[in-house]
Amino acid sequence: MRLLYTVIYYLAVPVVMLRQIWRARRDRRHIERLPERFGFIGPITGQQTRIWLHTVSVGEFLGALPLIHQLLARPNTELIVTCMTLTGSERIRASLGDRVHHFYMPYDLPGAIRRFIKTAEPDLLVIMETELWPNTLAECHARGVATLLINARLSERSAKGYARLPRLTTAMLSRLGGAAIQQQMDAERFVQLGLDREKVQVTGNIKFDVELTQSMREQALSLQEQWTLGGQRKVWLVASTHPGEDEIVLDTLARLRKRGIASGQLLLVLVPRHPERFDQVAQMARRAGFEIERRTSGTAPGIATDVLLGDTMGELQLMYGASDFVFMGGSLAPVGGHNFIEAALWAKPLLSGPHLFNFSGVSAMLREAEALRVVEGAESLTAELVGLIGDDTRAQSMGAAALNVAEANRGALDKTLKMIESLV
């Protein structure tokens, strides 16, 4: 079964490479470090304990950042941090510089992984969330590299997918040295797929342990002053949208304008999930008749600005802090939602669509606390926003409830660190 998987993966690699080459027409960074994808990296010297942490992209990296800071403070320890995406790589370099060794994650090919491990010589591979790759785990197991899955979650949909390949999945999970899992229902799904119950610990979600520094709070307050024109209008942040969602959001804004809520009363900050969609969404907003500014222009949104396009990287955390209410994308389209926790830490009232299967546990807690309201489309989203704009007490109550959920679920970081300590 693993051989069949590897053959299929080999066939998929040229398709992935062609996609990278196509993207490189506009940005050569997509192919500049292509050898790393095949495990070719420069030598790493030193005799310290070496922990390899894999975070697939920006969201996973930011969630792992408190853990990374704790590990960097550990004596005689150095970190290798890998990711899969250009945006993830940019964020790692901007946040950590040369404090860690950073590379792209090699493709899940036996030769590439073997080559990477031989050069990097990690003592432990820590995998953030559910980035499980059969050849990576097999090669680590064969070469005595301990492995730990952290902050793991497994939706019912994903579990069904793994269950279709029982032999491959069971073999893969058997090679894990341990698993720090967000919730009990996730743990049960992993066990049903073949993960040894003795290796499982339900730790909670380490993203609840993110700390908002005083500097971040001051920057967010400054941004809020600018966007609200000194408190004259509300800011509605729509984060991480996918194709099909921006149209609904802009339709909602048009409905709000028809109800008399003008640009001087409400600014929409619209942040597409993927940078390659920035121009497309900007054009969409203009075609809909809205006055738009782009964050990268450096021009502050004026009183006539309807939409501020969030076309920068690494600012979403501050944007949560500068907003009055947050709609989380990936939920009107059947993507499964995105992480609510950062917005909850800023005590913001939360809105989303109905597709939340990737964050079912967190969204359930927020809904039960009345911090999150779920809408089906433009009509119900309009109604919710009208209610929030006209009722500050309700908005503050929802935001406080969101923060309470976040505060009540701290502690996963310490449990995760203890599991790491047991393996190195």
Positions marked catalytic: 60
Give strand pairing partners of 128.
150
Instruction: Give the max Cα distance, the chain.
Output: 66
CA atoms of 135 and 112, how far apart (whole Å): 10
Residue whose tokens read 């250009």: 86
